[in-house]
Amino acid sequence: MPLVIIESPNKISKLKKILGRGYKIMATKGHIMDLPPKKLGVDVKNQFAPEYVVSRGSGSTIKSIVAEAKKHDDIYLATDPDREGEAIAAHIASRLPKRGKTLHRVRFHAITKRAVDEAMADPGTLNTDLYDAQQARRVTDRLVGYQVSPVMWRKGIKGASAGRVQSVALRYVATREREIQEFDPKEYWDIDAVTDQGFKTRMWGVDGKSKTIRQEKHALGIRQLTMSSGQLRVTKVSKKNRTRKPDPPFTTSTLQQAANNILSWDVDKTMSVAQKIFEKGVITYHRTDSVAVDKEYVEANRENILSEHGKDHLASKVNSWKGGKASQEAHEAIRPTGEDGDLTSDEGRLFDLIRRRFIASQMADARFEQVAVELESVGTKLPVNYKVNGSRLLFEGFLKVYGSATADVILPELEEGQIIGVTEVETAQKFTTPPPRYSGASLVKRMESDGVGRPATYASIIKTLEKRTYITKQGKTFQATDLGILVNDYLGMFFPELVDPAFTAQMESRLDEVAQGNISYADALQGFYTPFSEVLDKAKKGDAKALFRTEHMCPECGEYILKRPAKEGGYWYSCGGYPKCKATFRSEDSELLFEDGKPIVREVVSDEPDEDAPKCPKCGAPTVKRKGRYGEFYGCTTWKKTKCKGIINIDKNTGKPKEQEIYPLVSCPKCGDHMEKLDGRYGLYLRCVKHPECKTNMGIPLGVCPDCGGWIVERYSKKKKKHFYACNSYPDCEFACDDSEDFDPLPDEML
DSSP states of 426-442 as a string? Answer: EEEEEE--PPPPPBHHH
Position 609 in a domain: no
Domain co-membership, 262 together with 319: yes
Q: How far apart are the first and last CA of the chain?
A: 48
How high is the pLDDT of residue 648? 79
Domain count, the chain: 5
* Alpha-carbon gap, residue 675 to 746, rounded angstroms: 18
How high is the pLDDT of residue 606? 47
| DSSP string of 233-271, one letter each residue | EEEEEEEEEEEEPPPPSB-HHHHHHHHHHHS---HHHHH
How high is the pLDDT of residue 302? 97
Catalytic residue among 76, 146, 285, 386: 285
Cα–Cα separations (whole angstroms), residue 686 to 352, 448, 699, 709: 56, 46, 6, 19
Domain co-membership, 449 together with 504: yes
Look at the chain and count its residues. 751
Domain co-membership, 117 together with 191: no
Q: What stretches of 516-636 show up as alpha helix (H) in DSSP?
A: 521-541, 545-548
Position 192 in a domain: yes
Domain co-membership, 737 together with 718: yes
Three-state secondary-structure class, residue 627: strand
Exposure of 367 by Cβ count < 10 A (0-12 exposed, 13-18 middle, 19+ buried)? middle
Domain co-membership, 235 together with 377: yes
Regions of the chain with pLDDT less than 50:
328-330, 588-590, 601-607, 749, 751
How high is the pLDDT of residue 611? 67
* Domain at 383, CATH number: 2.70.20.10
Judging by DSSP bridges, how do beta strands 74-77 and 102-105 pair with one another? parallel
- Is 285 one of the annotated active-site residues of the chain? yes
* Alpha-carbon gap, residue 348 to 326, rounded angstroms: 30
Domain co-membership, 118 together with 7: yes
Exposure of 480 by Cβ count < 10 A (0-12 exposed, 13-18 middle, 19+ buried)? buried
Domain co-membership, 237 together with 259: no
Cβ atoms of 167 and 471 closer than 8 Å: no
| Residue type (1 letter), 463 | K
Domain co-membership, 309 together with 383: no
If we measure between CA atoms, which residue out of 246, 305, 252 comes closest to residue 278?
252
Domain co-membership, 165 together with 304: no
Position 679 in a domain: no
How high is the pLDDT of residue 325? 54
How high is the pLDDT of residue 597? 52
- Domain span including residue 259: 252-360
How high is the pLDDT of residue 586? 56
| Residue type (1 letter), 413 | E
How high is the pLDDT of residue 621? 82
Position 647 in a domain: no
Cβ atoms of 310 and 270 closer than 8 Å: no
Domain co-membership, 216 together with 257: no
How high is the pLDDT of residue 604? 40
How high is the pLDDT of residue 630? 58
Domain co-membership, 170 together with 307: no
Domain co-membership, 270 together with 192: no
Q: Report which secondary-structure segment, H or E, holds 350.
A: helix 345-360
Position 22 in a domain: yes
